[in-house]
């Protein structure tokens, strides 16, 4: 597996992250096989959140990987906090309590990365800064980032938070590519020209923040996958054509499309199928040409001005 630096940190990570949101759908032996396969593929970066399975996903993962000191040093753990029932909460108390719960469930003494999950309208950045300082000085968290935040929200946090924000987890796929499209359709009077995120793609590149695309196979907001979907005949025909050229699956090409972007993104894959996991990992070895990248982009219905 090819690796990269996460943001402007010294943390070396695989270019594909393994999302564990659905690991609670697996039986114990299946979870063990899945985690072991990921490690064999060099995909040792595991993404969690305290809300996944109501916390059960972190417990299942720790059990599946047989967490101990030796195992812990061989993997990279990221988790997220800030979502509560009916609200978002970036208060100092909630962040600290959440991390303690995460560490207990993962059976570890520290997280490599903690992300704030969804923007909190009532955020007091001074409290976030205090929480981050406490977590860093105690050794409970080594790196920090955000999820689903736009540039001004990040800048507001960064005004008070002294730690670099190394990652921003954002929804992005071939069919959900507005953050790319609005940068192409500059000064145009069409829907693709609408800047819905404050030019977050360029902002993250300028500030050395790694974008972690989530739902890389989804269209809409969890409406389904576009691969093999009759709603996207032209896109699937083009992906299949390019997949045949490289001797890989359509899954591999969908991830390779994201990895081809010079922003050096780290897609978070959510599959619990070991064969699809392997196909996702193969994407680190495929470098699409400029022509192939744009042909996939256009086949998804995206326009060039």
Bridge-based pairing of strands 12-14 and 3-5 is antiparallel
Question: Residues 37-61: what's their mean pLDDT?
Answer: 98
- The pLDDT value recorded for residue 205 is 98
Question: Residues 155-174: what's their mean pLDDT?
Answer: 98
β-strand partners of 145: 115
Which percentage of the chain shows pLDDT scores above 90?
A: 98
Angle between helices 151-160 and 125-137 (to 10 degrees): 60
Residue 62, CA atoms < 13 Å, CB-side half-sphere: 19
Other C-beta atoms within 10 Å of 95: how many?
A: 23
Composition of the chain by helix, strand, coil, percent to 5: 45, 15, 40
Against a cut of 0.85, is the pTM above it? yes
**CATH code at 3-299:** 3.20.20.100
- The pLDDT value recorded for residue 253 is 98
Cα–Cα distance, 155 to 182 (Å, whole number):
21
Other C-beta atoms within 10 Å of 53: how many?
A: 19
Give the pLDDT band of residue 145 (cuts 50, 70, 90): very high
Which percentage of the chain shows pLDDT scores above 70?
A: 100
| Domain residue spans of the chain | 3-299
Q: What are the pLDDT digits (tens) for 222-259?
A: 789 999 999 999 999 999 999 999 999 999 999 999 99
Q: Mean pLDDT score of the chain, rounded to an integer?
A: 97
Rounded to 5 degrees, φ, ψ at 267 are: -60, 140
β-strand partners of 113: 78, 143
Question: Residues 261-289: what's their mean pLDDT?
Answer: 98
Cα–Cα distance, 13 to 43 (Å, whole number):
9
- The pLDDT value recorded for residue 135 is 98
Question: Residues 147-164: what's their mean pLDDT?
Answer: 98
Please return the burial class of 93, using the count of CB atoms within 10 Å of its CB with bins 0-12, 13-18 and 19+.
exposed
Cα first-last separation, the chain: 36
Q: What are the pLDDT digits (tens) for 109-138?
A: 999 999 999 999 999 999 999 999 999 999
């Amino acid at each position: 597996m090819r690796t990269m630096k996460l943001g402007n940190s010294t943390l070396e990570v695989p270019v594909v992250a393994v999302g564990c949101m659905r690991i609670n759908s697996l039986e114990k032996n299946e979870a063990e096989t899945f985690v072991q396969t990921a490690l064999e593929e060099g995909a040792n970066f595991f993404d969690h959140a305290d809300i996944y399975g109501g916390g059960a996903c972190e417990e299942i993962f720790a059990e599946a990987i047989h967490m101990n000191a030796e195992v812990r040093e061989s993997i990279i753990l990221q988790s997220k906090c800030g979502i509560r029932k009916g609200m978002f909460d970036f208060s100092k108390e909630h962040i600290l309590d959440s991390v303690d719960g995460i560490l207990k469930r993962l059976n570890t003494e520290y997280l490599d990365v903690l992300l704030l999950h969804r923007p909190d309208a009532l955020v007091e950045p001074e409290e976030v800064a205090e929480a981050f300082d406490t977590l860093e000085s105690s050794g409970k968290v080594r790196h920090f980032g955000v999820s689903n935040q736009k540039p001004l929200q990040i800048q507001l946090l960064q005004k008070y938070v002294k730690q670099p924000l190394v990652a921003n987890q954002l929804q992005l796929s071939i069919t959900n590519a507005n953050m790319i499209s609005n940068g192409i359709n500059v000064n145009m009077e069409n829907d693709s020209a609408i800047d819905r995120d404050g030019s977050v793609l360029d902002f993250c590149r300028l500030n050395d923040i790694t974008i972690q695309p989530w739902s890389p196979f989804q269209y809409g907001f969890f409406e389904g996958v576009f691969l093999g979907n009759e709603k996207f005949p032209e896109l699937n025909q083009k992906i299949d054509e390019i997949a045949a050229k490289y001797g890989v699956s359509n899954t591999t090409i969908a991830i390779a499309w994201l990895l081809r972007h010079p922003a050096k993104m780290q897609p978070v894959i959510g599959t619990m199928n070991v064969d699809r996991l392997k196909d996702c990992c193969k994407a680190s070895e495929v470098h699409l040409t400029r022509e192939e990248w744009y042909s996939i982009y256009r086949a998804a219905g995206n326009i060039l001005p």
